[in-house]
């Protein structure tokens, strides 16, 4: 299939929308040419005049199997129920213009293949398998009065986002299992969390020996570790031990942000999830303990963005939403625009996110040789990011892998 987009105003890492209009030629799933007034044979010609052409958006922190706000309850659903409830979540992400997502715990290789083969409409999935947690850590959803062994927690259920593992040797074994089963990166819980019932946010999780083992094992498999971490202490410790991306990171300080920048580490903030929990969490069954912890990280959200920006920390897009709150995925764009320019936010959701995925030059860019993930937007997101909201209603065309997932005509 060949498609020619004509008269396109491009916004990506190489174009800020001010360089006039260009044509973009797509053939066999790839962008083959970008230039002015291209004269090429095309089966389909789309005049993008008056509209903006962007790379497909990338969300680097999602949980596509988290169809319930109470994360622990997702692990208790029958496997088929968890799978079928994920399908509208995936479809919604694609409709909002997210053509690739990195799942931060839960989704597996089989689901990624279902999407790849067109059995399930959705964004391209980069899966972590089950996130790895210590006993009593952010991935351990047993209540305080639950005295069952971690071996008997519902971690094996399809809807579970994590599994409990202790000790460097067991961590290595778990990583080898997850990668054998198709994980493209490894997720560990390096601090306390909001959604888990028994761990204060300030907790340090996993020993230094365990984190070193995780990083070493991931590198041996030519991939990397992403770490859930909130406090400056937990973030500094994880980055010093070789963790590549920090998830959330709300309680950062200047010293640690500067250290992250010096090490080339990425941060993936997820501020929309805390606003959604504040607004909707109680009525959707979010535990009271988690609601209380949510206040702490919500209050520091925007300040953390300012600190990361001040020190030049590389930042990618993330949302981390649960249940029906997935529909608020695009609102993270507008939150970040309170600190960054719209163009900077667009780069966070395209080229920087592609860098996190180790897909530089292939995703998040409108360039020759890149995968043809393309959005045609009715409006100018470089001036107003709201045109990327409203569940994608202003996105006239969504192309993924050179095929249309949505077209206005």
Q: What is the DSSP string of 17-47?
A: EEEEEEEEEEETTEEEEEESS-----SEEEE
Residue 336 forms part of a structural domain: no
Residue 305 forms part of a structural domain: yes
Distance (Å, whole) CA 356 – CA 269: 13
Close Cβ partners of 400 (under 8 Å, ≥ 6 residues apart):
56, 94, 99, 123, 124, 372, 373
Q: Which two tokens stand for residue 290?
A: 């988690």
Q: Which pLDDT value is given to residue 140?
A: 78
Answer whether 0.85 is exceeded by the pTM: yes
Query: What are the phi and psi torsion angles at 168 (to 5°)?
Result: -60, -40
Indicate the residue among 329, 348, 378 that finishes a domain.
329
**217 and 159 assigned to the same domain:** yes
Q: Which pLDDT value is given to residue 107?
A: 95
Close Cβ partners of 306 (under 8 Å, ≥ 6 residues apart):
339
**289 and 192 assigned to the same domain:** yes
Q: Which pLDDT value is given to residue 286?
A: 73
**74 and 39 assigned to the same domain:** no
CB 61 within 8 A of CB 102: yes
Domain of residue 16, CATH code: 2.30.40.10
**184 and 289 assigned to the same domain:** yes
Distance (Å, whole) CA 361 – CA 355: 9
**212 and 288 assigned to the same domain:** yes
Q: Which domain holds residue 18?
A: 2-56+362-407
Q: Which pLDDT value is given to residue 264?
A: 98
Residue 354 forms part of a structural domain: no
Q: State the greatest distance between any 2 C-alpha atoms of the chain, in Å, as a whole number.
A: 70
**72 and 157 assigned to the same domain:** yes
**83 and 38 assigned to the same domain:** no
Q: Which pLDDT value is given to residue 160?
A: 84
Distance (Å, whole) CA 84 – CA 18: 44
Residue 116 forms part of a structural domain: yes
Distance (Å, whole) CA 320 – CA 242: 23
Chunked into runs of 10 residues, the chain (409 residues) has average pLDDT values of 95 90 97 95 94 98 90 79 93 98 96 96 97 88 61 60 94 97 97 80 95 98 98 98 98 98 98 91 75 82 97 98 95 97 98 98 98 97 96 97 92
Distance (Å, whole) CA 367 – CA 371: 9
Q: pLDDT averaged over the chain?
A: 92
Residue 346 forms part of a structural domain: no
**171 and 317 assigned to the same domain:** yes
Q: What is the pLDDT of residues 35-87, one digit of tens each?
A: 999 999 999 999 999 899 999 999 999 999 998 887 777 777 888 888 999 99
Residue 338 forms part of a structural domain: no
Indicate the residue among 307, 329, 351 that finishes a domain.
329
**240 and 366 assigned to the same domain:** no
**101 and 36 assigned to the same domain:** no
Residue 347 forms part of a structural domain: no
CA dihedral 289, 292, 295, 296 (to 10 degrees): -80
Three-class SS of residue 234? helix
**85 and 210 assigned to the same domain:** yes
Count of structural domains, the chain: 2
Indicate the residue among 279, 308, 329 that finishes a domain.
329
Distance (Å, whole) CA 308 – CA 150: 37
Distance (Å, whole) CA 188 – CA 211: 8
CB 48 within 8 A of CB 134: no
Nearest one of 199, 378, 396, 404 to 287, comparing CA atoms: 199
**24 and 125 assigned to the same domain:** no
């Amino acid at each position: 299939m060949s498609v020619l987009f004509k008269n396109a105003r491009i916004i990506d890492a190489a174009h800020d929308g001010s360089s006039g209009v260009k044509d973009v030629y797509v053939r066999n799933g790839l962008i083959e040419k970008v230039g002015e007034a291209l004269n090429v044979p095309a089966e389909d010609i789309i005049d993008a005049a008056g509209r903006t052409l962007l790379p497909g958006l990338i969300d680097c922190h999602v949980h596509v199997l988290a169809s319930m706000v109470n994360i622990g309850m997702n692990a208790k659903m029958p496997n088929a129920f968890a799978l079928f409830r994920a399908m509208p979540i995936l479809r919604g992400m694609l409709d909002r213009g997210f053509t690739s997502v990195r799942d931060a715990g839960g989704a597996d290789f089989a689901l990624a293949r279902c999407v790849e083969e067109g059995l399930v409409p959705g964004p391209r999935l980069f899966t972590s398998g089950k996130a790895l947690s210590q006993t009593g850590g952010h991935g351990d959803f047993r209540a305080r009065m639950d005295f069952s062994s971690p071996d008997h927690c519902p971690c094996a259920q399809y809807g579970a986002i994590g599994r409990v593992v202790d000790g460097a040797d067991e961590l290595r074994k778990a990583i080898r299992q997850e990668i054998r089963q198709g994980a493209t990166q490894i997720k560990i819980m390096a601090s306390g969390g909001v959604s888990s019932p028994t761990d204060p946010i300030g907790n340090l999780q996993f020993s230094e020996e365990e984190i070193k083992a995780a990083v070493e094992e991931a590198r041996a498999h030519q991939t990397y570790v992403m770490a859930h971490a909130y406090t400056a202490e937990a973030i500094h410790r994880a980055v010093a031990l070789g963790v590549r991306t920090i998830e959330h990171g709300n309680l950062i300080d200047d010293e640690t942000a500067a250290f992250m920048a010096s090490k080339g580490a990425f941060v993936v903030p997820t501020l929309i999830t805390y606003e959604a929990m504040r607004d909707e969490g109680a009525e959707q069954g979010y535990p009271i303990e988690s609601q209380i912890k949510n206040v702490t990280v919500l209050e520091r959200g925007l300040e953390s963005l300012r600190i990361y920006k001040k020190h030049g920390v590389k930042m990618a897009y993330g949302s981390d939403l649960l249940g029906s709150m997935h529909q608020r995925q695009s609102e993270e764009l507008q939150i970040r625009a309170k600190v960054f320019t719209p163009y900077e936010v667009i780069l966070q959701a395209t080229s920087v996110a592609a860098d996190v995925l180790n897909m530089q030059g292939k995703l998040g860019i409108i360039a020759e040789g890149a995968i043809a993930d393309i959005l045609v937007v009715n409006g100018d997101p470089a001036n107003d990011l709201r045109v990327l909201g409203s569940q994608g209603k202003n996105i006239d065309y969504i192309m993924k892998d050179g095929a249309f997932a949505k077209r206005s005509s």
